[in-house]
């Protein structure tokens, strides 16, 4: 005899059960306990959407006939929100006509079961959909990561090649000037060190570009393992405090009054945020501060901001940092561009974004944002 539990998920799953029938909700909840799962109940579509907007679930079981917001409206909300757009939805209802089934599937339902439920079928169905969703997630993640890494590496290497092309005539002119001054050793001696410094700077940028391209190939990944944001920030702050102290800069962390877990590759997130903090420390004047803060927006988006109080950047120069066809020049500008590319690549690989705000004389703020579906825990701490 086959084991009815053979196809159940190996890990506990979190399931939203939206149905206005409390008896049916209790039956589903009890069945999920036997499957080592956990049910969160909602008595109507509106209550279900409030839960889905605030936290993550592995799968949703939705009735179609519910007050306040029916199942059709709830499915549309689920498919329209970044946190839930890929979540499997099982519609369970007493309506079994073909028109109802077709409509529910057309707007985003994953599968359809009718009442009364055959619980053995339900169990196998649940396990199959969870495995299917996990395989689809891995495929999306792999494709997204490959595309992001390719774009970032192309930008870094294109920027470096453009600098070499534009820098070569400049060095040639400097050397020719030195040659013309050979009869008078004084000017030549004064100019040669400047040429060597420019060559060293270009070599430094080339080395850094190669190192960052290698990091993008080998050191950036995407994972769904929950990681405590506080632990990630503690690591970054611990590594940055020595550099801040050496530069006479106060490193200020403004934590959220909440414990935040994010679904991510912690190593990649640390790498990206460390680049942003290092950029800020490089350009913050002695005696000033670099601020690191986190914020959760109403839609669940998580933003980590790194702000310096340096000279800031002109909007045109800022735009050039992410444009491989425009040269932002040697030295600090190019290094900022490379570091921001790393952070941008990591953010986009996780489905997020990097936004940089800066004006001359007003400092620079880098906003590293992760989407709501990456925020897996948000619990208020005791006051």
Q: What's the confidence (pLDDT) of residue 47?
A: 92
In this structure, the chain runs to a length of: 383
Which positions ≥6 away from 198 have C-beta within 8 Å? 167, 170, 171, 174, 330
Taking Cα atoms as reference points, which of 80, 72, 59 lies closest to residue 16? 59
Give buried/exposed letters for 40-61 (b at 16+ CB in 10 A, else e): bbbbbbbbbbeebbebbbbbbb
The CA distance from 218 to 267, in Å, is 12
User: Measured between alpha carbons, how far is 57 from 15 in angstroms, rounded to an integer?
Assistant: 6
CATH class of 140-380: alpha beta
Q: What are phi and psi of 65, to 5 degrees?
A: -95, 95
Helix (H, G, I), strand (E, B) or coil at 114: strand
Judge if the upstream peptide bond of residue 116 is cis by omega within 30 degrees of 0: yes
Q: Do domains 14-117 and 140-380 have the same CATH topology?
A: no
Each residue's pLDDT tens digit in the chain (383 positions)? 334 334 444 457 888 999 999 998 888 888 888 777 788 999 999 999 988 877 778 889 999 889 899 999 999 998 888 778 888 999 987 776 778 888 888 899 888 888 888 888 888 888 888 888 777 777 766 666 666 666 666 666 666 666 665 566 666 666 666 555 444 444 544 555 566 666 666 666 666 566 566 655 555 556 667 888 989 999 999 989 988 999 899 999 987 767 888 888 788 888 889 889 988 888 888 999 999 999 888 777 899 999 998 888 777 776 666 654 544 444 444 444 567 777 887 888 788 888 888 888 888 899 999 988 788 765 544 33
For the chain, give every domain's residue range.
Answer: 14-117, 140-380
pTM: 0.54
User: For residues 60 and 48, is the Cβ–Cβ distance under 8 A?
Assistant: yes
Say how far residue 97 (Cα) sits from the centre of its chain.
42
Looking at the domain covering 14-117, what would its CATH class be?
A: alpha beta
């Amino acid at each position: 005899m086959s084991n009815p539990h053979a196809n159940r998920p190996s890990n506990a799953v979190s399931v939203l059960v939206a149905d206005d029938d409390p008896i049916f909700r209790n039956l589903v909840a009890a069945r999920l306990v036997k499957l080592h799962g956990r049910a969160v109940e909602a008595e109507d579509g509106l209550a279900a959407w409030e839960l889905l907007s605030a936290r993550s679930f592995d799968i949703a079981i939705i009735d179609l006939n519910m007050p306040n917001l029916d199942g059709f409206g709830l499915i549309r909300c689920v498919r329209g929100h970044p946190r839930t757009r890929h979540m499997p939805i099982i519609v369970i209802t007493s309506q079994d006509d073909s028109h109802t089934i077709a409509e529910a599937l057309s707007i985003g339902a994953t599968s359809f079961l009718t009442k009364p439920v055959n619980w053995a079928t339900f169990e196998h169905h649940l396990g199959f959909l969870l495995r299917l969703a996990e395989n689809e997630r891995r495929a999306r993640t792999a494709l997204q990561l490959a595309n992001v890494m390719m774009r970032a590496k192309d930008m870094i290497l294109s920027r470096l090649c453009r600098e070499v092309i534009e820098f070569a005539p400049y060095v040639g002119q400097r050397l020719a000037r030195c040659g013309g001054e050979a009869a008078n050793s004084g000017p030549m001696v004064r100019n040669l060190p400047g040429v060597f410094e420019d060559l060293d700077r270009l070599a430094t940028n080339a080395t850094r570009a190669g190192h960052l391209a290698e990091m993008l190939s080998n050191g950036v990944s995407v994972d769904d393992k929950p990681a405590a944001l506080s632990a990630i920030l503690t690591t970054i702050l611990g590594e940055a405090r020595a550099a801040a102290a050496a530069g006479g800069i106060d490193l200020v962390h403004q934590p959220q009054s909440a414990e935040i877990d994010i679904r991510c590759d912690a190593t990649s997130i640390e790498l990206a945020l460390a680049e942003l903090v290092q950029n800020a420390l490089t350009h913050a004047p002695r005696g000033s501060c670099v601020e690191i803060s986190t914020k959760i927006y109403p839609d669940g988006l998580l933003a980590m901001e790194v702000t310096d109080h340096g000279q800031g950047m002109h909007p045109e120069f800022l735009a050039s940092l992410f444009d491989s066809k425009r040269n932002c020049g040697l030295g600090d500008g190019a290094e900022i561009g490379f570091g921001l590319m790393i952070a941008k690549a990591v953010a986009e690989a996780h489905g997020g974004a990097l936004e940089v705000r800066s004006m001359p004389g007003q400092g620079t703020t880098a906003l590293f944002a992760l989407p709501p579906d990456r925020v897996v825990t948000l619990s208020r701490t005791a006051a």
